[in-house]
């Protein structure tokens, strides 16, 4: 199947919004779901529904096998060395909070440093800020270059012998820039710290190899790569996961319980207390299969072309300010901008009337907005199923909306 064939498997892309064909350009918030994902979920509920890891009966084995097969898929997807170094959470947010509440809680002491960057989403900032406050540790911030790229020299200054954790997004959900994870991991490790990576905006757009990057923890959400909401992933290095005490207790995560004490199950079950989102995990498996079948070259070719068209179109529109690097080579498929003198919400509302869905606001990155010196921006973000005709239409309508408000 070609990329266009895959586009046709996303039912929502044939719907209308405000009487106009939907042009969905908010893929950084969440992606749309192909029929394969929708069917995998409904097939599970229709024919295979049972709780996992519990029953000795056939149906339970069927559900468990499907659920566990997705763990293998996820491990292969991010090149994790072993399947048990990957476990399912609810989201990137839950994965990052989990690291703060286990590794962070168990290692950070007063006077230690936690280092983040100026481009973090709140979910890779607030958990570390709160941990630092609880422990009387110091939260330090690596600043950006004027074009939004991370400054490695600044990183080398901020990460010191007192640093215990470096937490960084691999791709900014606002500026679209990617950060030099391997170099940051090296810096962190040289100083005796671990690196925690927020891969929420990366995994749908480029292959990730957690071993090559040498990261200690890697978090992402299924819903940003064509899977369902409610399922996230956390990868951790084996030695780290083995030393961590769980924070959630209950069914599925134990091997033996008495009134006095509990022996925990081995990893990864130890960290998956209670009934998981079985259908969601199975849906995530179908999403990963779609990406694999379509292949990275086709995905990246299309997304690079669309990003170039979007970025250049916006840069050539007078009265528009684009945030982040102006070079496509340095850009993920996310572009933030403002129309001078017009509130971003007005721009997004005007586009919505033409069926074009973009995000306006602070994008859960208020400190970054302060760095940029604005309260909010408009953000357009593409996925492989978007088309050059859609970006053309977006640019035409944006010009009309801009002229309407600037009159």
The catalytic site residues sit at 364
Cα 107 to Cα 202: distance, rounded to the nearest angstrom: 28
- Smallest gap from Cβ 336 to ligand PMP, in A, equals 12
- Smallest gap from Cβ 91 to ligand PMP, in A, equals 3
Tell me: does residue 198 bind ligand PMP (CB under 6 A): yes
85 or 92: whose CB is closer to ligand PMP? 92
Tell me: does residue 91 bind ligand PMP (CB under 6 A): yes
Q: Which of 66, 92, 302, 386 binds ligand PMP (CB under 6 A)?
A: 92
Binding segment for ligand PMP (CB under 6 A), chosen from 103-111, 119-127, 245-253, 269-277, is: 119-127
- Smallest gap from Cβ 317 to ligand PMP, in A, equals 25
Cβ–Cβ < 8 Å for 201, 207: no
Q: Which of 166, 200, 241, 322 binds ligand PMP (CB under 6 A)?
A: 200
67: left (phi > 0), else alpha (psi -120 to 50), else beta? alpha
- Smallest gap from Cβ 280 to ligand PMP, in A, equals 12
Tokens found for residue 50: 């049972």
Q: Which residue has the tokens 């029929």?
A: 35
Tell me: does residue 121 bind ligand PMP (CB under 6 A): yes
Binders of ligand PMP among 205-224, rule CB under 6 A? 221
- Smallest gap from Cβ 204 to ligand PMP, in A, equals 11
- Smallest gap from Cβ 17 to ligand PMP, in A, equals 21
Cα 206 to Cα 278: distance, rounded to the nearest angstrom: 26
Tokens found for residue 327: 């070079």
Per-position x/- string for 158-197, each x denoting binding to ligand PMP as judged by CB under 6 A, each - no binding: -----------x---x------------------------
Cβ–Cβ < 8 Å for 200, 41: no
- Smallest gap from Cβ 123 to ligand PMP, in A, equals 4
20 or 94: whose CB is closer to ligand PMP? 94
63 or 310: whose CB is closer to ligand PMP? 310
Cβ–Cβ < 8 Å for 315, 325: no
Binders of ligand PMP among 363-382, rule CB under 6 A? 364
Cβ–Cβ < 8 Å for 151, 145: yes
On the 0-12 / 13-18 / 19+ scale of CB atoms within 10 A, 324 is buried
- Smallest gap from Cβ 346 to ligand PMP, in A, equals 22
124 or 279: whose CB is closer to ligand PMP? 124
Within its chain, how far is the Cα of 384 from the centroid? Answer: 16
Q: How far is CA 242 from CA 236, 268, 272, 332, in A?
A: 9, 9, 14, 34
Binding segment for ligand PMP (CB under 6 A), chosen from 117-125, 272-280, 299-307, 321-329, is: 117-125
Tokens found for residue 121: 């989403």
On the 0-12 / 13-18 / 19+ scale of CB atoms within 10 A, 61 is middle
Tell me: does residue 117 bind ligand PMP (CB under 6 A): no
Q: Which of 123, 269, 279, 338 binds ligand PMP (CB under 6 A)?
A: 123
Binding segment for ligand PMP (CB under 6 A), chosen from 51-59, 91-99, 291-299, 385-393, is: 91-99
Contacts of 238 (CB under 8 A, 6+ apart): 81, 82, 84, 85, 267
Q: Which of 93, 97, 307, 338 binds ligand PMP (CB under 6 A)?
A: 93
Q: Which residue has the tokens 């170094």?
A: 85
Tell me: does residue 97 bind ligand PMP (CB under 6 A): no
Task: Measure the CA dihedral 359/206/281/213, to 10°.
Answer: -120
Binding segment for ligand PMP (CB under 6 A), chosen from 99-107, 198-206, 209-217, 385-393, is: 198-206
Binders of ligand PMP among 347-366, rule CB under 6 A? 364
If we measure between CA atoms, which residue out of 36, 30, 39, 24 comes closest to residue 223?
A: 30
Binders of ligand PMP among 126-165, rule CB under 6 A? none
- H-type helices in 21-145, by residue range? 35-43, 58-77, 92-99, 105-107, 126-135
Q: Which helix (H) or strand (E) holds 197?
A: strand 194-198
Binding-site ranges for ligand PMP (CB under 6 A): 28-29, 91-93, 121, 123-124, 169, 173, 198, 200-201, 221, 364
């Amino acid at each position: 199947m070609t990329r266009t064939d895959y586009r046709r498997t996303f039912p929502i892309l044939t719907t209308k919004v405000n009487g106009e064909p939907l042009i969905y350009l908010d893929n950084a918030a969440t992606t749309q779901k192909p029929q394969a994902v929708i069917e995998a979920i409904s097939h599970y509920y229709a024919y295979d529904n049972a709780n996992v890891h519990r029953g000795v009966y056939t149906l339970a084995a069927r559900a468990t096998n499907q659920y566990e097969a997705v763990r293998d898929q996820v491990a292969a997807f991010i090149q994790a060395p072993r399947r048990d170094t990957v476990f399912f959470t609810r989201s990137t947010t839950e994965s990052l909070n989990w690291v703060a509440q286990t590794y962070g809680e168990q290692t950070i002491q007063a006077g230690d440093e936690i280092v983040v960057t100026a481009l973090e989403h709140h979910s890779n900032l607030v958990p570390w800020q709160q941990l630092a406050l609880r422990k009387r540790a110091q939260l330090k911030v690596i600043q950006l270059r004027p074009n939004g790229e991370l400054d490695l020299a600044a990183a080398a200054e901020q990460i010191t012998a007192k640093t215990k954790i470096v937490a960084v997004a691999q791709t900014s959900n606002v500026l679209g820039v990617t950060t030099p994870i391997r170099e940051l991991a090296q810096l962190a490790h040289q100083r005796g710290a671990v690196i925690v990576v927020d891969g929420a905006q990366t995994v749908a757009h480029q292959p990730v190899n957690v071993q090559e990057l040498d990261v200690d923890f890697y978090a992402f959400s299924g819903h940003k790569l064509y899977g369902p909401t409610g399922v996230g992933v956390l990868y951790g290095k084996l030695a780290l996961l083995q030393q961590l005490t769980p924070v959630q207790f209950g069914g599925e995560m134990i091997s033996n319980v008495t009134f006095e004490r509990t022996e925990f199950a081995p990893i990864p079950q130890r960290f998956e207390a209670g009934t998981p989102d079985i259908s969601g995990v199975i849906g995530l498996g179908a999403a990963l299969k779609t990406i694999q079948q379509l292949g990275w070259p086709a995905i990246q070719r299309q997304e690079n072309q669309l990003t170039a068209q979007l970025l250049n179109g916006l840069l050539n529109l007078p009265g528009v300010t684009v945030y982040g690097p102006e070079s496509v080579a340095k850009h993920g498929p996310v572009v933030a901008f403002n129309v001078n003198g017009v509130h971003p919400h007005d721009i997004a509302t005007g586009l919505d009337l033409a069926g074009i869905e973009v995000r306006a606001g602070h994008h859960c990155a208020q400190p970054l907005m302060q760095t940029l010196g604005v309260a909010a921006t408009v953000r357009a973000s593409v996925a492989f199923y978007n088309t050059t005709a859609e970006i053309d239409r977006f640019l035409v309508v944006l010009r009309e909306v801009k002229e309407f408000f600037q009159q």
